[in-house]
């Protein structure tokens, strides 16, 4: 399982934004419990935005609990040695695309969001967002956690996206393209 210091270092390598200080406060307040779903109502998650830069498309899942479209992601598990590993695992499990070989080494975004009652005891996720590259020619598979998985051109996104994703997605896409290009 990822340790607290590794998580802190990965978060610090992410872009500074309005949520950065919230992550530091979470780590200071909850310590290692911030890494576990069972550690309290507020905890870390890792997610992965899968893009196809050639067609300017994103691969999204229609999340079963949320009932909305969003990037792949979820809680950290004991086999995850890093947030990067957790983001890759979640994207591979939820998209069916294996292996995702082009995944950013560092986060492209840090985000904090509140959750609906459908998520049970989880009330707030501190999400560390990575990016991966795939092709719209790749055929995703729907996991038990989703109603559907589909590619969407950036100019034709579904109406029922996660609440703040319509505003964030263009910037996330640009950040993903930039990070993946610098990795080449």
Closest to 29 measured CA to CA, from 4, 58, 6: 4
Tokens for 78, please give them. Answer: 């004991």
Rounded Cα distance, 115 and 131, in Å: 22
Rounded Cα distance, 57 and 35, in Å: 31
**Residue 34 dihedral angles phi and psi, to the nearest 5°:** -65, -15
Count of C-beta atoms within a 10 Å radius of residue 29: 11
Which domain does 139 fall in, by range? 4-181
- Residue 42 belongs to a domain with what CATH number? 3.90.79.10
The predicted-structure confidence for 17-61, as pLDDT tens digits, reads as follows: 999 999 999 999 999 999 999 988 999 999 999 999 999 999 999
Q: Based on the structure, what is the number of domains in the chain?
A: 1
SS3 52: strand
The predicted-structure confidence for 162-176, as pLDDT tens digits, reads as follows: 988 999 999 999 999
């Amino acid at each position: 399982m990822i340790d607290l210091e590794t998580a802190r270092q990965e978060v610090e390598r992410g872009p500074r934004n309005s949520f950065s200080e919230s992550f530091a406060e979470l780590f200071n307040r909850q310590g290692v419990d911030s890494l576990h779903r069972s550690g309290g109502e507020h905890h870390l998650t890792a997610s992965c935005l899968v893009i196809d830069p050639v067609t300017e498309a994103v691969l999204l899942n229609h999340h079963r609990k949320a009932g909305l479209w969003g990037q792949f992601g979820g809680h950290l598990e004991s086999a995850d040695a890093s947030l990067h590993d957790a983001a890759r695992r979640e994207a591979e499990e939820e998209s069916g695309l294996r292996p995702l070989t082009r995944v950013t080494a560092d986060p492209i975004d840090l985000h904090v969001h509140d959750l609906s009652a459908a998520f049970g005891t989880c009330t707030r996720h501190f999400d560390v967002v990575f990016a991966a590259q795939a092709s719209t020619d790749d055929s995703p598979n729907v996991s038990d956690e989703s109603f559907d998985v589909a590619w969407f051109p950036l100019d034709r996104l579904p109406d029922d996206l996660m609440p703040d994703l319509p505003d964030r997605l263009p910037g996330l896409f640009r950040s993903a393209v930039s990070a993946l290009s610098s990795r080449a």
